[in-house]
Amino acid sequence: MIIAYGLIAAMALGAVVFVAYRMYNTPARAYRRRTRQEQRAYDARRAPTEP
């Protein structure tokens, strides 16, 4: 019986980890991350170069 409860707990933990991973890596988050990186690169190109 202890083994069965351990397997249930392990499967529940696996499901929680999977859902958390999917929520963290949503397409909207990836889009925001990419646009932030593009904006930083654009700002760096436009920065005046002081001699």
C-alpha 24: how far from chain center: 4
Give the CA count within 13 Å in the CB-facing half-sphere of 4. 1
16-40 b/e (C-beta count within 10 Å ≥ 16 → b): eeeeeeeeeeeeeeeeeeeeeeeee
Q: What is the pLDDT of residue 15?
A: 98
Q: What is the pLDDT of residue 26?
A: 83
Residues 1-51 pLDDT 10s:
999 999 999 999 999 999 999 988 888 777 888 888 888 877 777 766 666
